[in-house]
């Protein structure tokens, strides 16, 4: 009987261990309940401040979601994107993908300050980014998911990694897919995560080439709906207007839904990296069609892919640190 009890206890421990969406690194696991005892109000505090920021400016939801993405694609999800330049650290904020476009840092600062008052040096900046991304998605009408937690913060940044590893708006489909695969993400993750462009804005500089000189021959992109292109040219001329903003999803720009995929099928994807999902790869095109037809399917896969992306090379255990200020190492 005693042996049976020992077996049952051991079995139950093994059975429940994987239930926490574990993202394994070399020295530990991520799991949603990580702060249940050390900082039980952590998720509530993050959600409250994100909700306040999004209520003030709806665009902030997309900005916070993008910060998590741009963080995870450089050295893993370690909050390296939040570091300012100091000493030997050259900030990733200077990189081409982030310069004059990455935003939301003040919101992260406010969250960190509140968490430091509630439970000093307990909640990492990397976990704040992951939670803020989830809450931003939910607040704009998107799906929710349990966020695996327990990441620690890096003690360095990588400007070259930020310049080279983050997919760019003018990259070819194959280049974008390769960048995803280098992070352990596949074509399903690529298409689903691209759906985050259902909210937010892009600058004129991100798509001007499509309007005027797509292939270097002085001609516009022939895969772009021409009436839509004519509307875009008004605010994005051949020169000037670089910082003018355009909705990534002009149909429902502040609502997280599958309109993005419907736009692509209508040849009205704003960025080249959006439109190539339906023009350069058959498997990708089929996924675009599925998500355009079925919003629930898109939501389910987006949540799965966000968890998967959030598990890229986390620092756990004794690696990294818990920054007291997200902008600088301790």
* Model pLDDT, residue 281: 87
CATH code of the region 42-166: 1.10.520.10
pLDDT at 147: 97
One digit per residue, the tens of pLDDT, for the chain of length 330 reads 444 343 333 333 333 333 334 444 334 689 999 999 999 999 999 999 999 999 999 999 999 999 999 999 999 999 999 999 998 999 999 999 999 899 999 999 999 999 999 999 999 999 999 999 999 999 999 999 999 999 999 999 999 999 999 999 989 999 999 999 999 999 999 999 999 999 999 999 999 999 998 877 788 888 899 999 999 999 999 988 888 999 999 999 999 999 999 999 999 999 999 999 998 889 999 999 999 999 999 999 999 999 999 999 999 999 999 999 999 999
Domain 173-308 sits in CATH at 1.10.420.10
Question: Catalytic residue positions?
Answer: 70
Rounded CA separation 245/270 (Å): 11
**Residue count of the chain:** 330
80 annotated to bind ligand: yes
Per residue, what are the HEC states of 70-118?
A: HHHCCCCCCCHHHCCCECCECCHHHCCCCCCCCCCHHHHHHHHHHHHHH
Q: Please give the DSSP secondary-structure letter assigned to residue 128.
A: H
Task: Write down the H helix ranges in the chain.
Answer: 2-16, 42-56, 59-72, 105-118, 125-139, 159-165, 173-181, 187-194, 208-212, 226-235, 259-265, 272-279, 282-293, 295-310
- Supply the pTM of this predicted model: 0.90
114: left (phi over 0), alpha (psi -120 to 50) or beta: alpha
137 labelled as ligand-binding? Answer: no
The C-alpha atoms of residue 176 and residue 218 are separated, in whole angstroms, by 24
**249 belongs to an annotated ligand binding site:** yes
| Buried b or exposed e, range 1-23, using 16+ CB within 10 angstroms | eeeeeeeeeeeeeeeeeeebbbb
According to the annotation, is 92 in a ligand binding site? Answer: yes
Domains of the chain, residue spans: 42-166, 173-308
Do the bridges between strand 201-203 and strand 245-247 make them parallel or antiparallel, or are there none, so unpaired? antiparallel
**CB-based contact 125:329 (threshold 8 Å):** no
The dihedral built from the CA positions of residue 15, 17, 20 and 22, taken in this order, carries a sign that is negative
Predicted confidence at residue 4, as pLDDT, reads 38
> CA 126, 69, 48, 296 torsion: positive or negative?
negative
The sign of the torsion formed by the CA atoms of 322, 324, 329, 330 equals: negative
Task: Check the annotation: does 198 bind a ligand.
Answer: yes
């Amino acid at each position: 009987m005693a042996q049976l009890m020992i077996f049952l206890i051991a079995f139950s421990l093994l059975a429940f261990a994987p239930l926490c969406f574990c993202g394994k690194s070399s020295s530990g696991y991520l799991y949603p309940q990580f702060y249940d005892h050390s900082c039980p109000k952590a998720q509530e505090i993050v959600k409250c401040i994100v909700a306040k920021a999004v209520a003030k400016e709806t665009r902030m939801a997309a900005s916070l979601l993008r910060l998590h993405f741009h963080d995870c694609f450089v050295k893993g999800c370690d909050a390296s994107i939040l570091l300012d330049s100091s000493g030997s650290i050259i900030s990733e904020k200077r990189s081409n993908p982030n310069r004059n476009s990455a935003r939301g840092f003040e919101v992260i600062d406010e969250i960190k300050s509140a968490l430091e008052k509630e439970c000093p040096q307990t909640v990492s900046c990397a976990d704040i980014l992951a939670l803020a991304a989830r809450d931003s998605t939910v607040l704009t009408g998107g799906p929710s998911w349990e966020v695996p937690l327990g990441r620690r913060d890096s003690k360095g940044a990588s400007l070259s990694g930020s310049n080279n590893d983050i997919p760019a708006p003018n990259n070819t489909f194959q280049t974008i897919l390769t960048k995803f695969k280098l992070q352990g993400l596949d074509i399903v993750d690529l298409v689903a995560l691209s759906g985050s462009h259902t909210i937010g804005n892009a600058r004129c500089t991100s798509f001007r080439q499509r309007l005027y000189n797509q292939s270097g021959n002085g001609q516009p992109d022939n895969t772009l709906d021409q009436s839509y292109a004519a509307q875009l040219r008004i605010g994005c001329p051949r020169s000037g207007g670089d910082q003018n903003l355009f909705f990534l999803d002009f149909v429902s720009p502040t609502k997280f839904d599958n309109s993005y995929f419907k736009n692509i099928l209508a040849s009205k994807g704003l960025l080249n990296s959006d439109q190539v999902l339906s023009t350069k790869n058959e498997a990708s095109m089929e996924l675009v069609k599925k998500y355009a037809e079925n919003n629930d399917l898109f939501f389910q896969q987006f949540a799965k892919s966000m968890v998967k992306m959030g598990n890229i090379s986390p620092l756990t255990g004794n690696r990294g640190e818990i920054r007291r200020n997200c902008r600088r190492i301790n």
